[in-house]
Chains A and B, each alone.
Chain A
């Protein structure tokens, strides 16, 4: 949400190097990041290191947060994804940002479209709750456990086509949350 208090916290960290704001962000996100990491099946020690490194990156990268581009949980989700690859695979995950694509000829969106980006958070949350348990399990496997379609199919003992179509259906439901210009 544009008025999400989390936005202000990250901005305070960026502008004023506000430690108190950082502690609030930590208190909210660190336990979730840890839960998220543990679901990925990594060790407790690795999960704690990941939480630390992610939160340190939040402190360091606070100025790169743009509330018009993502909400705070999405921003932190991508930081933690990249950190995990960095820590566990010793690789830098190739990144891409909206600005790069906006720079391409003919892809300039109307300016007011950008402001809405951050407002989808709550709608997405309720859309997530409306998924069937099978759909949710598969999505969670993809996101939490960082598993490719092929691995998920093997693990759940399902044909690859079934996994793909379950994911597609789940994503279609979630995508209905985004206004048409974004699809």
Chain B
């Protein structure tokens, strides 16, 4: 049961194509696990379709059609979509093009002795998206961010204040938000995370220091 969803503004921005690749990937991945948000996206796309249908036609010169007709023979036919997924697979379909190896073989980087990160190879490098792996029971220190931070749980779970997050749950934190997620004791947690701006250096140092002092 998914309890935490993206707000309507993000779903609309996904449907219109306004999101950066990293954020769009997070929304698509959430929706692939969440029928409620999937339906909302489909509705918003239907609204886009209606706007297109009621658009005033602009004049198209005949040359364009002639050019396309000449190119048709070179174009194949893509087979009908057969997205059959094992629901047991950890990575939902939208993420798979970005992860070409089994999870345990990815070049994970340890950060601050607290978690491991694998940065996804996006075409758009302005906003980064990563997979994060945290061990069971990890207490992250209280921290804030310079930009918006999005987190989507892929497996395991964590608690943040009074809220519990499990597979499919989405959270968006803004600059003003400070939080302290604590990973569940019964297993590691794998998340997809997007940071508009990296954590402050002082925070990374503080992570290391806290780790060293075991606080």
Contact A104 B49, CB 8 Å, known A32-B55, A89-B124, A147-B18: no
Question: Least Cβ distance of B92 to chain A in Å?
Answer: 7
Q: How far is the CA of A169 from the CA of B65 in the complex (A)?
A: 40
> Which residues does chain A contribute within 8 Å of B64, judged by CB atoms?
30, 48, 51-52
Q: How far is the CB of A175 from chain B (nearest CB, A)?
A: 6
Which of B26-34, B107-115, B158-166 touches A?
B26-34
State which size class the interface on B falls in: 35 or more
28 interchain pairs, CB-CB under 8 A? A17-B77, A30-B60, A36-B51, A48-B64, A51-B60, A63-B77, A73-B52, A77-B48, A77-B51, A82-B17, A92-B97, A95-B94, A96-B93, A97-B93, A98-B38, A100-B38, A101-B35, A103-B83, A104-B87, A109-B35, A117-B42, A121-B50, A124-B49, A125-B53, A142-B13, A146-B18, A149-B13, A183-B39
A168 within 8 A of B: yes
In the complex, the chain A residue whose C-beta lies closest to that of B17 is A81
Closest partner residue, chain A, to B123 (CB atom): A91
Cα(A80)–Cα(B48), bound, Å: 11
User: Other CB < 8 Å A-B pairs besides A63-B80, A64-B80, 12 of them?
Assistant: A32-B52, A60-B77, A62-B77, A69-B42, A74-B50, A76-B49, A98-B38, A105-B87, A117-B42, A128-B51, A142-B12, A171-B8
Main secondary structure on chain A at its contact with chain B?
helix
B58 on the interface (CB 8 Å rule)?
A: yes
- B18 contacts A52, C-beta separation under 8 Å: no
Interface set of A (CB-CB < 8 Å, partner B) = 14, 17, 19, 22-23, 26-27, 29-36, 38-39, 48, 51-52, 55-56, 59-64, 66, 69-71, 73-78, 80-82, 84-85, 89-107, 109, 117, 120-121, 124-125, 128, 139-140, 142-144, 146-149, 151, 164, 167-168, 171, 174-175, 178, 182-183
In this complex, which of A94, A109, A142, A168 has the most chain B Cβ atoms within 10 angstroms of its Cβ? A94
Residues of B within 8 A of A183 (CB): 39
Give the chain B neighbours of A81 by CB distance below 8 A.
Answer: 16-17, 48
Are A19 and B72 in touch, CB under 8 angstroms? yes
- Which residues from B are CB-within-8-Å of A91? 21, 122-124
Cβ of A103 and Cβ of B38 under 8 Å apart?
no
A75 neighbours in B (Cβ, 8 Å): 49
- Closest CB in chain B relative to A132 CB, distance in Å: 16
Determine the main DSSP class of B at the interface with A.
Answer: helix
- B57→A32 contact, CB < 8 A: yes
Q: Which residues of A contact B97 (CB under 8 A)?
A: 92
Of B1, B42, B72, chain A has the most CB atoms within 10 Å of the CB of: B42
Interface positions, chain B 1-44, Cβ under 8 Å from A, are 1, 8-9, 12-13, 16-19, 21, 24-25, 27-29, 31-35, 38-39, 41-44
The answer to whether A143 touches B77 (Cβ under 8 A) is no
Contact present for A96 and B31 (CB under 8 Å): yes
Q: A14 contacts which chain B residues (CB < 8 A)?
A: 77
Given the complex, which residues of B lie within 8 Å of A66, measured CB to CB?
80
Within the assembled complex, what's the spacing in Å between the Cα atoms of A120 and B53?
A: 13
Contact of A22 with B53 in the complex, beta carbons under 8 Å = no
